[in-house]
Structure formats: C-alpha cells, structure tokens
C-alpha cells in the first residue's frame, strides 16, 4: 500500500516551472496496500495437529491485535457499504500496517485522527511500533507449513529531503527498504512496480501507471500468503453446481466437496465453519447468514462485528460426526481507493492539503505535505492445486443418516486469520464467484 502526500497547488505550479533546475516535489505520496493471496485447497480435519504460538503474546501485541480486530471489521463493513462491487477482498492487516508506518511522520491532530481511526488511542507511538515489529516477526515464522510474507518499502524523490529519524524508525520497526529515485525518470515507475511484482510472487504486477508531479513519496506494504489446507479436496469430487445469486438467478460454479470433522457453529444468525491451513494456526472462516433471504451486505453491516465473531468462534465445536462442506472454487481481483472511506471513519485531516501535519516526515514550509491517495489492491485464488495426494474421501463413514452440511451455494463472507493471536489477515465478501 503506497502513501501519497502532496503539497498545495502553488507549490505544484512552482515545481512544474522549475523541475528542470530543481526537482522539489509536492506530495508525499500515495498510500498503497498491495496484497496477494493464493490458497491451495487442503481442508482440515480436527484430528490434525493443533498449532500453537511459539511464545506468549506481549501486552502491546495483545493491545494492538485487539485494536486491529475492531478496525478490521469496521473498515470491512465500510468497504462493503461504500463499494457496490459484487465481490470485495481486503487485507485489514496491510491497511493498518501501511497507515502505522505513515503515523510515524504525523503530528498534532493529524496524528490523533490517524491513531483513533486505527483504534490505537490507548497506545503511544513507541508501543505501536514495537508491537508491529514483534508481531511481524511472529506471523511470518509461526507456521512452516504456510508461506506468509510481509514486505514494506519507502520510495522518495531524490531531491526531497526526508528526516532521517523517520526513515530509521520505519526501517527498524517495519523492516522497510528505503529507495531514493528520480521520479521524473519514467523508469522509476517500472522500478516500483517490479518490487511489487516480486513481493507478491507475480500475482500483482503493478500498482502505479505514472508518477504525478505532486508525488514525493510512496509507502508500500505487500502481503503474500499461500497455504495448503490441512485436509485436501479431491479434484475428482469437484463438479459443476448451482450458486444462487441474490437476484434469484443461478450461475454454475465448480463446487468442491469434502467430508470430515470440521469445527462448525450454527445459530439463528449464522452458519459458520473453520477450515485450517498447514499446522492449523492459519484458518479460513466461512460465514453464511442463517436466513437464506438476508442480503449479504446487510449481514455484513448488522452481524459481522468484532464482538459477534469473538462470540461465534468461542462456540465453534468439532462434531463427533463428519460434516460435509461444499465450497466453490473462486478467484478474485480487487482494487479500491480508500480516501473517502478513511475520511468517513474520522481521518479527514491527513487528507487536507492545507492543514495536514506530516512535519515528522519532512519540513517543507511554507508548503505542506498531505496524503493524496490511499489505494488497496488484492488478489485471491482458492482451487485444488497440489491436492491429489489426499486419499480420504466421503465414502465409507459408516453412518446411517446424512452428515450435517455447510453448503456454500449462496453469497458468503470469508476471513483468513491467525487463530491463536486472532490477527485478521484478509476479509472477503463473495456474491458471485464467477466474476
């Protein structure tokens, strides 16, 4: 996720007139989140190994995760309400991490608004930075059976003087690589996009098409996740099936099937199943409204809250009987600009070109730095790659009645999170898996 901070229009005109002699830039850049996720399908059974964190969470990590849970559900609800796209897929962790890097350059009320939007008002900057640093180290190493990578970087115009302590804090706590470029050179666009491509394993090839005159800095966060299900779907069981849209029509999807003992929860509000990856530390939680007639956007707005998810997960039970899961294969690409959503969540001042205060990044008086754009781009794939080795199928379980089933044949919500810490990595809403 890149961050863009800009100067006001007078300075932009000055730069355009003087850029051959002196390349001062007018914005700090665009806050952009890059996320890539590829999921092979290897579904979990409860008898698989239960992963545990290698250490206890620190108090600051617990406070950070608690805040991030509230932030993640709030920004997910706001995204679904704001964007009329059929499918939504975001990474709250990527968004909060990129904003936290930027927070290191904010001051005064700009700092307060950003911290409050992130739900971090109970922590000071040092505590926030320390918590992110240790949490990053924990998450990327917690499960050797899952590939999870976090990469951060700062790119700034070579004639823009950045405060060294800002660069050092972001480099030290977020492991950010620092890059100084000639933003007037068209090759700089390719350089930045190549970094994005490399750090998302080629799933996202570019984030910018050109660098505007007013951009002086990009802060970029990239996440990459690849996990095999603990229990695999068998490709031979996948077959075309109907998926019911909210308008009453149906589309044909490739539906995967698996029968095993999964953790589930059924109530008058929700049908819920948890599908672990690797060593069971990372999981996908699939949520369906219990009322088949409830629109998925209304379900997200009214039901998908931090408190509800905490309550529902506490009631997850592994059945003594097998559960049948029907899950469609799907692949989503998603892109959104977060300026208006973040403003609505209370972060107005950081986008104000005259009154934002990012003097912690650079002092450009009498001009001003502000966030120009916050952009989020994601990719997710769920399919059967690498799953043929699973020999267990739904045949021969020895029961006399049909097992309970979670049939994902209508719009649904899914959340990928680290189970023990409760960190939400990705959240999505799927209305139509075929688009």
Please name every residue paired with 265 in a beta bridge, in sequence order, or none if there are none. 272
Q: By three-state DSSP, how is residue 73 classified?
A: helix
| Residue 324 in this model has a pLDDT that exceeds 80 | yes
The predicted-structure confidence for 22-60, as pLDDT tens digits, reads as follows 333 334 443 445 444 444 433 333 443 456 778 888 999
pLDDT of residue 317: 79
CA–CA dist 116, 112 (Å, integer): 6
264-296 core/surface letters (b: 16 or more CB in 10 A; e: else) = bbeeebbbbbbbbbbbbbbbbbbbbbeeeebeb
Q: Do residues 376 and 406 share a domain? A: no
More confident residue, 358 or 4: 358
Q: Do residues 186 and 267 share a domain? A: no
Q: Do residues 203 and 91 share a domain? A: yes
What CATH number should be reported for the domain holding residue 213?
A: 3.30.497.10
C-beta separation of 90 from 428 below 8 A: yes
CA–CA dist 126, 109 (Å, integer): 18
Q: Do residues 364 and 215 share a domain? A: yes
Please name which of 398, 405, 416 lies closest in space to residue 257, comparing C-alpha atoms.
405
> In the chain, how many domains are there?
2
Q: Do residues 158 and 245 share a domain? A: no
| For range 102-106, the mean pLDDT | 95
pLDDT of residue 2: 52
* Residue 50 belongs to a domain: yes
| For range 298-323, the mean pLDDT | 89
Give the domain range for residue 338. Answer: 2-228+332-381
Q: Do residues 286 and 179 share a domain? A: no
| Residue 16 in this model has a pLDDT that exceeds 80 | no
Q: How many helices (H) and strands (E) does the chain have?
A: 10, 18
Q: Where residue 247 falls among pLDDT bands split at 50, 70, 90?
A: very high
Pairing of strands 371-383, 30-40: parallel
The predicted-structure confidence for 159-205, as pLDDT tens digits, reads as follows 889 999 999 999 999 999 999 999 899 999 999 999 988 988 888 88
pLDDT of residue 215: 82
Q: Do residues 349 and 321 share a domain? A: no
Q: How many C-beta neighbours within 10 Å does residue 73 have?
A: 21
What does the chain come to in residues? 435
CA–CA dist 291, 362 (Å, integer): 53
Q: By three-state DSSP, how is residue 85 classified?
A: coil
**Residue 226: phi, psi to the nearest 5?**
-140, 120
- Looking at the chain, the whole-number percentage of residues with pLDDT higher than 90 is 52
Q: By three-state DSSP, how is residue 130 classified?
A: helix
The predicted-structure confidence for 191-203, as pLDDT tens digits, reads as follows 999 998 898 888 8
What CATH number should be reported for the domain holding residue 407?
A: 2.30.39.10
C-beta separation of 377 from 33 below 8 A: yes
Please name every residue paired with 342 in a beta bridge, in sequence order, or none if there are none. none
């Amino acid at each position: 996720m890149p961050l863009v901070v800009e100067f006001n229009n007078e300075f932009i005109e000055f730069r355009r007139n003087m850029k051959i002699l002196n390349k001062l830039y007018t914005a700090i850049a665009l806050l952009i989140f890059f996320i890539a996720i590829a999921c092979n399908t290897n579904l979990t059974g409860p008898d698989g190994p239960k992963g545990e964190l290698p250490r206890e969470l620190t108090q600051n990590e617990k406070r950070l995760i608690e805040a991030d849970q509230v932030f993640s559900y709030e920004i997910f609800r706001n995204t679904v309400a704001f964007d009329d796209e059929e499918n939504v897929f975001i990474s709250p962790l990527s968004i909060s991490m990129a904003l936290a890097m930027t927070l290191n350059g904010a001051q005064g009320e700009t700092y307060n608004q950003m911290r409050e939007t992130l739900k971090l008002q109970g922590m000071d900057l040092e505590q926030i930075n320390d918590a992110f640093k240790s949490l990053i180290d924990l998450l990327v190493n917690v499960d050797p059976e899952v590939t999870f990578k976090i990469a951060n970087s700062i790119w700034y115009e070579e004639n823009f003087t950045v405060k060294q302590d800002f660069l050092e804090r972001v480099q030290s706590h977020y492991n950010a690589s620092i890059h100084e470029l000639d933003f007037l050179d068209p090759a700089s666009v390719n350089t930045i996009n190549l970094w994005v491509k490399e750090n998302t394993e080629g799933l996202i090839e570019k984030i910018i098409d050109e660098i505007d005159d007013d951009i002086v800095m990009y802060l970029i966060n990239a996440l990459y996740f690849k996990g095999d299900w603990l229990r695999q779907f068998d490709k031979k069981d996948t077959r075309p099936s109907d998926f019911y849209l909210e308008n009453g029509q149906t589309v044909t999807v490739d539906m995967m099937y698996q029968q095993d003992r999964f953790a589930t929860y059924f109530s008058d509000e929700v049908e819920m199943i948890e599908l672990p990856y690797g060593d069971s530390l990372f999981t996908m939680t699939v949520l369906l409204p219990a009322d088949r007639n409830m629109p998925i956007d209304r379900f997200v707005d009214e039901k998908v809250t931090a408190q509800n998810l905490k309550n529902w997960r506490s009631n997850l039970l592994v059945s003594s009987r097998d559960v049948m899961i029907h899950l469609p294969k799907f692949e989503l690409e998603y892109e959104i600009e977060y300026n208006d959503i973040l403003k609505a969540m209370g972060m107005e001042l950081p986008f104000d070109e005259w009154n934002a205060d990012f003097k912690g990044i650079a002092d450009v008086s009498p001009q001003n730095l502000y966030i120009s754009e916050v952009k989020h781009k994601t990719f997710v794939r769920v399919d059967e790659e690498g799953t043929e080795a699973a020999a267990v199928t739904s045949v021969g379980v020895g029961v006399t009645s049909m097992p309970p089933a979670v049939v994902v044949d209508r719009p649904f919500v899914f959340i990928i999170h680290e189970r023990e810490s409760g960190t939400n990595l990705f959240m999505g809403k799927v209305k139509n898996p075929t688009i």
